[in-house]
Each structure stands twice: as C-alpha cells, then as structure tokens.
Amino acid sequence: MKLPKNALVAVADGEILKLYRNTGDEGSPSLTALPDADISTSNKGSGGRHQSSSANPSDSQQDEDGFAAGIAALLNKQVMGGKVDAVVVIAAPRTLGELRKHYHKTLEAKLVGEVSKDLTGHSVADILKAIASA
C-alpha cells in the first residue's frame, strides 16, 4: 500500500501503542516516532464475553480490550479534530478486531489501510516493509 505524506501510522498490540508520522513522501516514506500517547483503558469494549469469574480469574483480556478501545478513541479524536488526514493501523490480529469495533465513521473514511500483524517490538524498517507489501 502507498503511505501518503503526513499519514499517521499506529502500531499496536494489547498493551503497547507506537505512533509514527510519515515525514517522507508517498514514493519514499520515512517514519518519525511521535511522543507516547496517554491511552484510557476505562472502556472494556466488548468484554461481555470475557468476564472474569472463578473459572477465569484473569482480567488481562478485558484490559487488552479496554486498551484497544482507548486506542480507537484516540485515533477517532485525532481524525475528527482535523489533525490527521490519513491513517494506517498495524495491530496484532485480536487487537485489530477489537479496534475495528470502535472506529468512528470519520476514521473509517480516513483509513488508508490495515495490517494484521504484531510489529510493536520491530524496527521502523520492518514496519515500512509490512506497509509496502500490504
């Protein structure tokens, strides 16, 4: 996929979000890391099917769902605030599924593409390679 100039690239999993901006152009993209964002995890998303119980005492799945919902809220706010014209989301498959549930229509319209892959611990070169091959 082509990465437009100034596009926002969000790379996420259930616990980490890295944001980048394409400071290059569409022909030769260059990702610049943005400061870490403060993600609200208060929205537990679709956690109804992941309730904690004595049989499943872990809250980790609910925490991951809440983190994904917080990422979507941040991206929605940025797009609706006019700060972003193009977005690429790269996320672990389960996180990407949860993110999609929370996309606003405005964000969906600005979404250039998605990559269902966990690249949070990878280099910028690996991220650019995944975008180019998508």
Contact predicate 34/124, CB 8 Å: no
User: What total number of domains does the chain contain?
Assistant: 1
pTM of the model: 0.86
Per-residue pLDDT tens digits for 8-19: 999 999 899 999
Please state, in angstroms and rounded to a whole number, the distance separating the CA atoms of residues 101 and 50: 15
Range of the domain at 109: 8-46+57-133
Residue 104 lies in a domain: yes
Close Cβ partners of 25 (under 8 Å, ≥ 6 residues apart): 5
User: Which amino acid makes up residue 88?
Assistant: V
Residue 51 lies in a domain: no
Q: What is the pLDDT of residue 56?
A: 52
